[in-house]
Amino acid sequence: MKLWSSDCEFKAPWKQTTEAVWKKYPNEHQPNVGHIDVIDRKITADGKLLTTRLFGSHFSFPKLITTLLGLPEICYAIELSEVDLKTKKMTLRMINMTFGSVLTVNETLVYSPHKDNPDKTALDQSATVTISGIPFPDYFENMIVTRFDTTSKLGRKAIQQKIQKLTVEGILNTVERELYELTADINRATLDMKFNLTGRVVELYKDLDRAAGLINTEIQSFSEKLQTEFLQVIKSLDSELSQVVVKLRLSEDGDDIELSNIGLSEAVKQAGIMA
């Protein structure tokens, strides 16, 4: 059996963070999660929300492990969640269903308010991995534990993006409500009444400016990511193609002439595709 644990914090209150957790899927960082079905949901006598969900995911495990474990195309797991509004604690427990007689993965995630800052949320994440009945169990357990480091980071990125989206939506909803109330106040006002609108208009402007800043940040981040990936692909192809030599056989005299190709990066620049 192998143990894994990690922790992090989100720069958002507990309520907003847990809302983002519920809306985590689908997301661009974890396209392997194919579908989620709610099997059961109920509220206990003491006010806790209990939910059972079925996850169906596609995993690209190494061929060796899929051959030994006989893993199917879609792997299923059960998630048991408990949300306690009184203590502000959200606990998610997930266990695999697929090939449970050989592989057992228990994962636990606990979201709670940050002890030093109520505007942040702390996440404590842990997992146990147990493999039995096949050769080299330690090797495969270590392999799966290593994957947790990668997948957990992707999951946190997805939650952070959802938090960002919820923040923008919250600001825009507030602005919309304030504009409605402001319009109603203007309609009720008369020229004889002292009615100061300047302060409220300034606050609305600040909210809209903040929302625009968040949106621009997301767009800039996506643009930089796309450019970085594009340059990496170009460099990779350039490295491979730089070794290619084009041979032209002249039909008249049968001689071979070797012409080395131009670098791909240089060709792309000359074509004006990138600055």
Q: What is the CATH number of the domain that holds 8?
A: 3.30.530.20
Same domain, 173 and 220: yes
Domain-terminating residue out of 155, 186, 201? 155
The per-residue pLDDT for range 71-102, each reduced to its tens digit, is 677 889 999 999 999 999 999 999 999 878 88
Same domain, 196 and 148: no
Count the Cβ atoms, other than its own, within 10 Å of residue 20.
23
The predicted model scores a pTM of 0.70
User: Is residue 6, in this structure, part of any structural domain at all?
Assistant: yes
137 cis-preceded (ω within 30 degrees of 0): no
How far is C-alpha 152 from the chain's CA centre? Answer: 9
Range of the domain at 151: 2-155
User: Is residue 105, in this structure, part of any structural domain at all?
Assistant: yes
List phi, psi (to 5°) of 146.
Answer: -60, -35
User: Is residue 170, in this structure, part of any structural domain at all?
Assistant: yes
Q: What is the pLDDT of residue 123?
A: 98
Domain-terminating residue out of 132, 155, 178? 155
The more confident residue out of 157 and 67 is: 157
Q: What is the pLDDT of residue 264?
A: 46
pLDDT of 44 over the 70 cut: yes
Q: What is the pLDDT of residue 30?
A: 92
Same domain, 105 and 72: yes
Q: What is the pLDDT of residue 219?
A: 62
The per-residue pLDDT for range 203-220, each reduced to its tens digit, is 766 777 777 777 767 666
Same domain, 80 and 213: no
Same domain, 135 and 171: no
Q: What is the mean pLDDT of residues 237-244?
A: 47
The per-residue pLDDT for range 139-183, each reduced to its tens digit, is 889 888 888 888 999 999 999 999 999 998 888 888 778 777 777
Token pair belonging to 190: 């008369």
Quick check: helix, strand or coil at residue 165?
helix
The more confident residue out of 229 and 38 is: 38
30-34, 123-127, 200-204, 247-251: which has the highest mean pLDDT? 123-127
Q: What is the pLDDT of residue 9?
A: 97
Contact predicate 108/87, CB 8 Å: no
User: Is residue 253, in this structure, part of any structural domain at all?
Assistant: no
User: Is residue 258, in this structure, part of any structural domain at all?
Assistant: no
User: Is residue 242, in this structure, part of any structural domain at all?
Assistant: no
Same domain, 101 and 203: no
Same domain, 75 and 114: yes
When divided into structural domains, the chain yields a total of 2
Token pair belonging to 29: 């960082």
Same domain, 176 and 53: no
Q: What is the pLDDT of residue 258?
A: 44
Same domain, 29 and 137: yes
List phi, psi (to 5°) of 69.
Answer: -90, -15
Q: Which pLDDT band holds residue 245 (cuts at 50, 70, 90)?
A: very low
